[in-house]
Chains A and B, each alone.
Chain A
Amino acid sequence: SQQGEEDPQALSIQEGENATMNCSYKTSINNLQWYRQNSGRGLVHLILIRSNEREKHSGRLRVTLDTSKKSSSLLITASRAADTASYFCATDGRNTDKLIFGTGTRLQVFP
């Protein structure tokens, strides 16, 4: 089944450092999306990367996609305490637009 798995499960860094989170999935996709979720709150859409794209930037975010390895990474540069949250990847599929979410990475940024 199509499934996203993130690693690491948890990441603690100091403000100003970069944070890298990885996501792997199992089946062919159209798009891969990254979301942020503050504790107990809603899902905030960060970025979408299509299967024919290899890299995408948005502000301090950089996302890469390697469809041959079925993996993606999210890099947050110059992290801030406000970046503290859980980050999820989500994939759709060739024949379905439903999103399959990964298990998430809990990021803690210490001031």
Chain B
Amino acid sequence: EPEVTQTPSHQVTQMGQEVILRCVPISNHLYFYWYRQILGQKVEFLVSFYNNEISEKSEIFDDQFSVERPDGSNFTLKIRSTKLEDSAMYFCASPSLGHFSYNEQFFGPGTRLTVL
């Protein structure tokens, strides 16, 4: 299975602080996704990103969230002012065929975000 990596594995922050979660998707891919999973709940879609633009986002992905690909390889999710309810596991995903999205989505190991 192609590898998607994420850093950090665990991030602890104070409410109101900004956090940046990082993902290194499968190389040469154009499609990327962020999902989150609040403890004990189902995995929820946040945003999809294609060719350096957001292609779709959920209601969860409000103005406090942003995504970018600053250097052509890393893919970041920023939360500007964290809230307690942002505590969750955040997953980055990349499809098996980078230029076609309707295929297997491979997930990274996740970043556990804890907001105190």
Contact = CB atoms under 8 A, between A and B. Distances in A.
B103 A48 contact: yes
A45 B103 contact: no
B42 A88 contact: yes
Contacts of B18: none
A101 B104 contact: no
A65 interface: no
B48 interface: yes
A100 B45 contact: yes
Interface residues on B, range: 20 to 34
Interface of B: 1, 31, 33, 35, 42-45, 48, 56, 58, 89, 91, 93, 95, 101-110, 112
Interface of A is mostly: strand
Contact of A42 (B31, B42, B91, B102): B91
A17 interface: no
Nearest to B105: A99
Contacts of B48: 97-98
Given A30-B102, A42-B91, A35 B45 contact: no
Contacts of A98: 33, 45, 48, 56, 58
A101 B42 contact: yes
Contact of A43 (B43, B45, B58, B103): B43
Interface residues on A, range: 20 to 34
A30 B108 CA distance: 23
Nearest to B110: A42
Contact of A45 (B31, B42, B102, B105): B105
B98 to A, nearest CB: 13
Contact of A96 (B35, B43, B56, B105): B56
A19 to B, nearest CB: 20
